[in-house]
Structures are given as C-alpha cells and as structure tokens.
Amino acid sequence: MELKKVGEKLGFKTCGSNSGGNGEWLFDLCWYKGEDELMEEFPLALESEWSHIDQFVRFDFQKLLVARATHRVMVFERIDEAAFTATVDHLIKCIVAFQGTTKGDLYLFACWLCKNAQKFVFRHHIVP
C-alpha cells in the first residue's frame, strides 16, 4: 500500500491490513509515533469500504469519528459524482451530530467513481 510507504518515509510506524509487519490495528491503516506502548503522535487514521451499500460505508466511517488522528481519511467507491456528493453530505451530517467533534477536525473523502469516469474524486471537510 502506497500510503503505508509514505508514512514510513515520513518517519511514522504504520499498521494496516496487508501491510506486512504490523497488521491492522483499529483502522484499515494508521500512522503513529511512540515507544514502549506510549502513543506520542497519531497523524493518520484511514478507513476504506468498497461496497456500494451505504450502511457499510457509514459503519466504517463511525470509527473515524472517534479517532483522535490529525487526519481522518475515508476511501470508498460510488457509481458517479452525484452518489459521491450524497454520501459525503451524509457523512458530514454525522460529523456535525457527533458530540465528540472538535473545531479543526480534518476529514478527507476519497472516492473511486466506477461507472463511466473511472477516476478518484476528493473532498475535504474541516470542522469550523
């Protein structure tokens, strides 16, 4: 996974599924710094869901709501940009509703459009 390599180049330890070494821990991928089980820094938590079933995306996204990572990334797949926009709009409503949300929380949404476009689209949200 390329994001695993990026984290390691930046000096972070990584945990993720199919990443070798440290397996998945809490999230599909995370970057951290710390020694002797003392977490010092947690810059990235990433969840991904490749199902078109909305409830599966929402379920995985809820893990990011409780993450205290600097950057929270949700990667998923939708048929077109309208479906991507609808999904992100709903996830932002989840962020707003969650009482643990803090000003400045940063989320990145990355979506593979699988119908005609065959490309990734992105949107970010910073809690005001």
Write the DSSP assignment of 81-98 as a string of letters. Answer: HHHHHHHHHHHHHHHHH-
The whole-number average pLDDT for the span 83-100 is 97
The whole-number average pLDDT for the span 70-77 is 97
User: By the 8 A CB rule, do 42 and 63 touch?
Assistant: no
Domain that holds residue 56: 2-126
Q: Is the pLDDT of residue 49 over 80?
A: yes
Amino acid 31 reads W
Please give the pLDDT value at position 22: 62
Structure tokens at 14: 């990584």
Q: Is the pLDDT of residue 95 over 70?
A: yes
Q: Considering its fold, how many domains does the chain have in total? A: 1
